[in-house]
Amino acid sequence: MDLATVVGVVLGVVLVFLAILVGGDMMSYINAPSVLIVVGGATAATMTSQPLTRLFKFHKVCAKTILHKSKEPGEIIRQLVELAEVARRDGILALEGMIAEMDDDFLVRGVQMAVDGTDPEIIQSVMETELENLLERHESGKGLLDAMGRYAPAFGMIGTLVGLVAMLSNMDDPSKIGAGMAAALLTTLYGALLANVVFLPLADKLGMRSTEEALAKTIIIHGVMSIQSGDNPRTVESKLITFLPPQLRPAQDQVAG
Amino acid sequence: MDLATVVGVVLGVVLVFLAILVGGDMMSYINAPSVLIVVGGATAATMTSQPLTRLFKFHKVCAKTILHKSKEPGEIIRQLVELAEVARRDGILALEGMIAEMDDDFLVRGVQMAVDGTDPEIIQSVMETELENLLERHESGKGLLDAMGRYAPAFGMIGTLVGLVAMLSNMDDPSKIGAGMAAALLTTLYGALLANVVFLPLADKLGMRSTEEALAKTIIIHGVMSIQSGDNPRTVESKLITFLPPQLRPAQDQVAG
Amino acid sequence: MDLATVVGVVLGVVLVFLAILVGGDMMSYINAPSVLIVVGGATAATMTSQPLTRLFKFHKVCAKTILHKSKEPGEIIRQLVELAEVARRDGILALEGMIAEMDDDFLVRGVQMAVDGTDPEIIQSVMETELENLLERHESGKGLLDAMGRYAPAFGMIGTLVGLVAMLSNMDDPSKIGAGMAAALLTTLYGALLANVVFLPLADKLGMRSTEEALAKTIIIHGVMSIQSGDNPRTVESKLITFLPPQLRPAQDQVAG
Amino acid sequence: MDLATVVGVVLGVVLVFLAILVGGDMMSYINAPSVLIVVGGATAATMTSQPLTRLFKFHKVCAKTILHKSKEPGEIIRQLVELAEVARRDGILALEGMIAEMDDDFLVRGVQMAVDGTDPEIIQSVMETELENLLERHESGKGLLDAMGRYAPAFGMIGTLVGLVAMLSNMDDPSKIGAGMAAALLTTLYGALLANVVFLPLADKLGMRSTEEALAKTIIIHGVMSIQSGDNPRTVESKLITFLPPQLRPAQDQVAG
Amino acid sequence: MDLATVVGVVLGVVLVFLAILVGGDMMSYINAPSVLIVVGGATAATMTSQPLTRLFKFHKVCAKTILHKSKEPGEIIRQLVELAEVARRDGILALEGMIAEMDDDFLVRGVQMAVDGTDPEIIQSVMETELENLLERHESGKGLLDAMGRYAPAFGMIGTLVGLVAMLSNMDDPSKIGAGMAAALLTTLYGALLANVVFLPLADKLGMRSTEEALAKTIIIHGVMSIQSGDNPRTVESKLITFLPPQLRPAQDQVAG
């Protein structure tokens, strides 16, 4: 579970509550119609802007920012080097027996193709197409959160304009001007909170996840191609550790000829 | 029909009406000259910025966001695999008889070229050129909605400035200041509503449609090239399902050698 | 002549005049020093930001948005297919006699090279270089209008700040505050009008023109290369119509082998 | 000398002075601490954001926007055609004697390599690497001005916020509110002036210069490669004039076979 | 140590302090809850938006902007030319003895592969992959600072909205309005300061460092490939000095054949 996501959102909400309690009365900050116009409006605009099928995946997209756990690149490299050792020792067909233990469908697919003796160019093209399509699906999930993050402040401003017009058209009682403006500003506040505490950070996080997964998948592609071409396990390792930051590389980092 | 588009726009409009009714009097929010300056100004600027021929397609562009129905990628793949089976069994010329049943002009064109024995490189280049031009046409439709979405808030601000100058030049009667400012803000409200309830979400939706269609056409290109090269139907399928998200792939997902 | 450009600008100006007349007194909106700071300032900043030679082309750039008439892609394709027919029937040298009737210098240049027996790779590279340089020149014309569209609102804001400081430093007579603020806001209004009624839409239009011309030139390049290689006129047509939207294609759209 | 740069900046400054004189008293607009916070703050942020070595080149970068004179593309082409004629007539070694008269180091370097009989691929790769690095250096000079143009308005806003807080915390004497706000707004005005009269237009100009130089260098690369390969001077010219806009091309524009 | 970074930040802070002291009372500018909402909120949003592992590197990322010292490109070229001389004189194996003196791991890795007789294509691909991954890691460090620089002003605005609502809901005592607005504006001020004095300039600096290191690594890649292919030291130098600005090149700049 991605603790940072949960802690970040909770911390953001708590801080805003504290700020409100320090400054005044919680009741001044709660207004159901204001919530409705901001949340409802942003949802309506997002609904207009996205295919319906994607909207139904909204909870999955959110869940992904919290639950998803990427594998460490170092771990993936260790696994690929191990496969390379088996392939070198017992032949590439020996990898078939190890597929059951693999926990990454993408790796399974690549190894299966290598074991089946599929043409290397086809293996590479199939895996790269799959990676591209994966990234495009991630992008579309991120697009959903980005849309909410863009439309929430926009409807916050719309709500404030509606409130200002109401207040300004009806200024008979000057003592109510303050309360009217306060109410009008609430929607802008709600829009800014939703965007900056929830939607935009979650969209950023999805983008990060996508970059991480792309790195993991790219390592797997390079690894499978290297194993398939019968490379020495040391060569496989030396090719793959270039993807790691220097401090994470094994100390005995040596390039075999 | 794309229900989400209609529901999104209607929901956005209803929510804003509700917000207005909660806050005050509907009549304060209706002002014909304000509508004129925002809608007319945005239309004028868009007219200046776009070729006339494109403006006449405005209703078509809008209709497309509501009516257009993309075919499911999974469905397209099933159809291509079926074609591959026929081509494998009865020869590629047998596909000619199936053209009448195809509902996608792009697929018809590709299969026709394959049946005619056109050079594979030419088939690919013709289909890719067609896809690029399709995307460019989509882009220009989206550009129309984007322009409206940019110029509507700009003319909203222009209207507000005109109103503020009128009010400020004529402050003899302080009791009218509120009403004057309320009227001035109306154009900003109209501009924000048009942009965020209608134009920008519709432009986003067109962009999504374009991505979906590009995926569908890319699958067709890969499928036709694979059929044309005489690939085994299993190979055709295994190449194409990489375009699907894992959960939509058939359970018996196997890569044939 | 591009009527949309003229109508759009005129319509925008008329609408703003109407809005002013509805709201108040035309005289409150006219102020010579405000015009000077916005128009002069934007011109000064654009002068600083652009090479002098380009500034002298400003009227030509503006004229281009109004006068320029692109040829229809369908018309260009018909002409190229006709050339292909002549080349097929009477040999490529027969095209020399038709050069006099061609109204597009780019086409003349391409056909001339083909007639001269220039190496196909050189023809393609010369024509593509010419297209790239054409697009770069368009881009720089658009840059001029974009700069005006960016600096006009900036100097509008500068003028408003100058006016506000003047008003605020001198608030002895409260009855003049309104007039002072009205005057200060005028420059912001001028900047917004210039940018959104004139400069930004014209810049957009130039961008559109550039895309249209790039399409026309790309069709010509493909056509000349296809004619030069001795392609059958039906093949030339089938290659080129992929650049047209489906509804503009001739009904007998068939791909010759 | 680039007169437009100087005239543009001077004109911008003069216009703002005029606007101030029309509106009120020059003294209200001059405030040393406000200058300090905007100029100093923008300099500090730029210092943080850029390598120290680059900051020391600030005056050179500014000078370049004023003093730099690019050679006309037409002139460069004439020179290259002349070299091609000599090379054709007297052999490529004859170019060595002409190096002393060349005023462009980039051209000298290219011709020297051609004379030395360096491998064409190496000549091209060396010249292209040099062009890329030149553009990257230009980009970093532009980055310096862009940073000033971004941070000056930011510190203008910071200064205004500091001033507003000071004024609002101390509203005992209402007659001073106007003067306080006027002073607070001054930094925003300074920031907007610095950015829009000086830094952003100069950054734009550097970008233009860079595009111009890239065009000149690209012409030289094409010219040297063409001369080196022994092309006929007419061919050299016909290849190079594609870089010129049609109206600048010589009337006898003919493509030699 | 990168003095400019430290001096820039300190100078920015000092200038703002001076501006505050000139305008009024330091105490009006200090407010613990305001610091909490801006710093805490920006941290929370950044935590949500970034993987946890990256957050723990925050101090390292900051330290890098201050401590990191890139090697001069000229120095790197001198070192590579020296290696080329040794390789030419004593054979490429002689470079193994010089590895101990090299202070750049990337260079060591490249030379080691050359000495081991690794295939040139593999050397190049391994080094380029390493460079790409280095740049991606830099990008993610920069992303952390960029996120802080984006969310700090956002939470500044949220804090101001919270404060305005509190003040407006409670306007019984008009004498407190000024103090309430002052307090509300403080968070906007804090957000603008954090973003423009610290986070955005540091993010820019990291971007610069990344460009510098990419240049250094690119020179090393070209140098190692050139040495590996047995190039004459003069050729190595003439290839590499194209990466230097003309004024930094040695006077005897000559291209060997």
Complete DSSP assignment for C140-176: HHHHHHHHHHHHHHHHHHHHHHHHHHHHHTT-SSGGG
E254 pLDDT more than 70 = no
Axis-axis angle for helices C200-228, C73-90 (nearest 10):
20
A208 pLDDT more than 80 = yes
Chain C residue with minimal CA distance to B44?
A: C8
- Residues E32-54 have a mean pLDDT of 89
Which residues on chain D are in Cβ contact (under 8 Å) with C51?
Answer: 2, 4, 205, 208-209, 212
Residues of chain C with pLDDT > 70: what percent?
95
CB contact under 8 A, C256 and B162: no
* Side chain identity, residue D47: M
pLDDT on residue E218:
93
pLDDT on residue E136:
86
Q: Which of D156, E183, B176, B201 is nearest to A55 (CA)?
A: B201
pLDDT on residue E1:
56
d(CA C39, CA C156) in angstroms, rounded, equals 9
Of B116, B140, B170, the CB nearest to C24: B170
d(CA A138, CA A211) in angstroms, rounded, equals 10
pLDDT on residue D1:
55
Q: Which of D162, D77, D159 is nearest to E182 (CA)?
A: D162
Contact A242, E185 (CB under 8 A): no
CB pairs under 8 A between A and E: 162
C53 pLDDT more than 60 = yes
E104 pLDDT more than 70 = yes
D113 Cα to chain C: minimum distance (Å):
24
Of E175, E201, E257, the CB nearest to D45: E201
pLDDT on residue B254:
43
Mutate to test the interface with C, among B46, B48, B129, B150 (most CBs of C within 10 A): B48
Of C52, C143, C157, the CB nearest to D4: C52
What's the mean per-residue pLDDT of chain B? Answer: 87
Q: Which of C57, C72, C217, C228 is nearest to C132 (CA)?
A: C217
- The dihedral over CA atoms of C118, C120, C126, C127, expressed in degrees to the nearest 10, equals 120
- Residues B15-23 have a mean pLDDT of 86
Mutate to test the interface with B, among C7, C17, C22, C254 (most CBs of B within 10 A): C22
Residues of chain E with pLDDT > 70: what percent?
95
- Give E14's pLDDT tier (boundaries 50, 70, 90): very high
Chains B and E touch (3+ CB pairs under 8 A): no
CB contact under 8 A, B11 and A47: yes
Q: Which has the higher per-residue pLDDT, B250 or E57? A: E57
- In sequence order, what DSSP letters do the residues of B197-248 get, joined into one string? IIIHHHHHHHHHHHHHHHHHHHHHHHHHHHHHTT--HHHHHHHHGGGS-GGG
- Give C84's pLDDT tier (boundaries 50, 70, 90): very high
Which residues on chain D are in Cβ contact (under 8 Å) with C133?
Answer: 242-245
- Residues B55-71 have a mean pLDDT of 75
Q: The whole model's pTM is what? A: 0.90
* Side chain identity, residue A235: T
pLDDT on residue A81:
93
pLDDT on residue A255:
41
- Residues D165-190 have a mean pLDDT of 86
Give residue A121's Cα distance to chain centre: 30
d(CA D89, CA D102) in angstroms, rounded, equals 19
Q: Which helix (H) or strand (E) holds C196?
A: none
d(CA E139, CA B76) in angstroms, rounded, equals 39
Q: Which helix (H) or strand (E) holds B124?
A: helix B120-168
- Residues A46-50 have a mean pLDDT of 89
Burial B50-78 (b: 16+ CB within 10 A, else e): bbeebbebbeebbebbbeeebbebbebbe
E77 Cα to chain A: minimum distance (Å):
23
Return the top range by mean pLDDT from A66-80, C158-172, C241-255, D43-57: C158-172
Which residues on chain E are in Cβ contact (under 8 Å) with D41?
Answer: 12, 15-16, 196-197
Contact E55, E47 (CB under 8 A): yes
CB contact under 8 A, C192 and B161: yes
A16 pLDDT more than 70 = yes
d(CA E188, CA D154) in angstroms, rounded, equals 12
Contact B210, B142 (CB under 8 A): yes
B100 Cα to chain A: minimum distance (Å):
30
Tokens representing E145?
């600072």
Give residue A214's Cα distance to chain centre: 12
Burial D190-208 (b: 16+ CB within 10 A, else e): bbbbbbbbbbbbbbbbbbb
Q: Which of C231, C246, C179, C216 is nearest to C77 (CA)?
A: C216
CB contact under 8 A, C118 and D257: yes
A196 pLDDT more than 80 = yes
What's the mean per-residue pLDDT of chain C? Answer: 87
Return the top range by mean pLDDT from B111-115, C58-62, E155-159: E155-159
- Give B218's pLDDT tier (boundaries 50, 70, 90): very high
Which residues on chain D are in Cβ contact (under 8 Å) with C55?
Answer: 4
- Give E251's pLDDT tier (boundaries 50, 70, 90): low
CB contact under 8 A, E168 and A189: no
d(CA C211, CA B135) in angstroms, rounded, equals 13
d(CA C75, CA C102) in angstroms, rounded, equals 12
A173 pLDDT more than 80 = no
Q: How large is the greatest C-alpha to C-alpha distance in chain A, in angstroms?
A: 90
pLDDT on residue C50:
84
Mutate to test the interface with C, among B37, B43, B47 (most CBs of C within 10 A): B47
- In sequence order, what DSSP letters do the residues of E132-196 get, joined into one string? HHHHHHHHHHHHHHHHHHHHHHHHHHHHHHHHHHHHHTT-SSGGGHHHHHHHHHHHHHHHHHIII
D174 pLDDT more than 50 = yes
pLDDT on residue D161:
95
3-state secondary structure chain D: CCHHHHHHHHHHHHHHHHHHHHHCCHHHHCCHHHHHHHHHHHHHHHHHHCCHHHHCCHHHHHHHHHHCCCCCHHHHHHHHHHHHHHHHHHCHHHHHHHHHHCCCHHHHHHHHHHHCCCCHHHHHHHHHHHHHHHHHHHHHHHHHHHHHHHHHHHHHHHHHHHHHHHHHCCCCCHHHHHHHHHHHHHHHHHHHHHHHHHHHHHHHHHHHHHHHHHHHHHHHHHHHHHHHCCCCHHHHHHHHHHHCCHHHCCCCCCCCC
Give the model confidence (pLDDT) of A124-143 as tens digits.
988 998 898 888 888 888 98
d(CA B72, CA B80) in angstroms, rounded, equals 13
Q: Which has the higher per-residue pLDDT, A16 or A24? A: A16
DSSP class of C199: I
Contact D104, E246 (CB under 8 A): no
Entry field: residues in chain A: 257
Around Cβ B182, how many Cβ atoms within 10 Å?
A: 25
Which residues on chain E are in Cβ contact (under 8 Å) with D160?
Answer: none
C256 Cα to chain B: minimum distance (Å):
8
pLDDT on residue C44:
93
Chains that touch A (3 or more CB pairs under 8 A): B, E
d(CA D35, CA D25) in angstroms, rounded, equals 18
Of B136, B151, B162, the CB nearest to C19: B162
* Side chain identity, residue E3: L
Give residue B31's Cα distance to chain centre: 32
C79 Cα to chain D: minimum distance (Å):
22
CB contact under 8 A, B186 and A168: no
Q: Which has the higher per-residue pLDDT, D185 or B3? A: D185
Chains D and A touch (3+ CB pairs under 8 A): no
pLDDT on residue A251:
55
Which residues on chain E are in Cβ contact (under 8 Å) with D137?
Answer: 245
Of A116, A129, A136, the CB nearest to B257: A116
Mutate to test the interface with E, among A3, A173, A197, A213 (most CBs of E within 10 A): A197
pLDDT on residue D217:
93
pLDDT on residue E101:
84
pLDDT on residue A158:
95
pLDDT on residue C1:
56
pLDDT on residue C251:
55
Tokens representing C27?
């005289």
d(CA A51, CA C103) in angstroms, rounded, equals 46
- Residues E7-21 have a mean pLDDT of 90
Around Cβ D91, how many Cβ atoms within 10 Å?
A: 11
Axis-axis angle for helices B200-228, B3-23 (nearest 10):
170
Give the model confidence (pLDDT) of C93-137 as tens digits.
999 888 888 888 899 989 999 998 888 988 998 899 889 888 888
Q: Which of D196, D193, D181, D185 is nearest to D17 (CA)?
A: D193
Start-end of H helices in chain A? 3-23, 32-35, 41-49, 52-55, 58-67, 73-90, 105-115, 120-168, 177-193, 200-228, 233-240
d(CA D34, CA D27) in angstroms, rounded, equals 13
Contact E137, A243 (CB under 8 A): no
Which residues on chain A are in Cβ contact (under 8 Å) with B196?
Answer: 41, 45, 151, 154-155, 158
Q: Which of E224, E210, E235, E213 is nearest to E99 (CA)?
A: E224
What is residue C255's three-state secondary structure?
A: coil
ipTM above 0.90, yes or no: no
- Residues C226-248 have a mean pLDDT of 85
- The dihedral over CA atoms of C44, C50, C53, C58, expressed in degrees to the nearest 10, equals -70
Chains E and D touch (3+ CB pairs under 8 A): yes
Residues contacting A232, CB < 8 A, separation 6+: A84, A88, A256
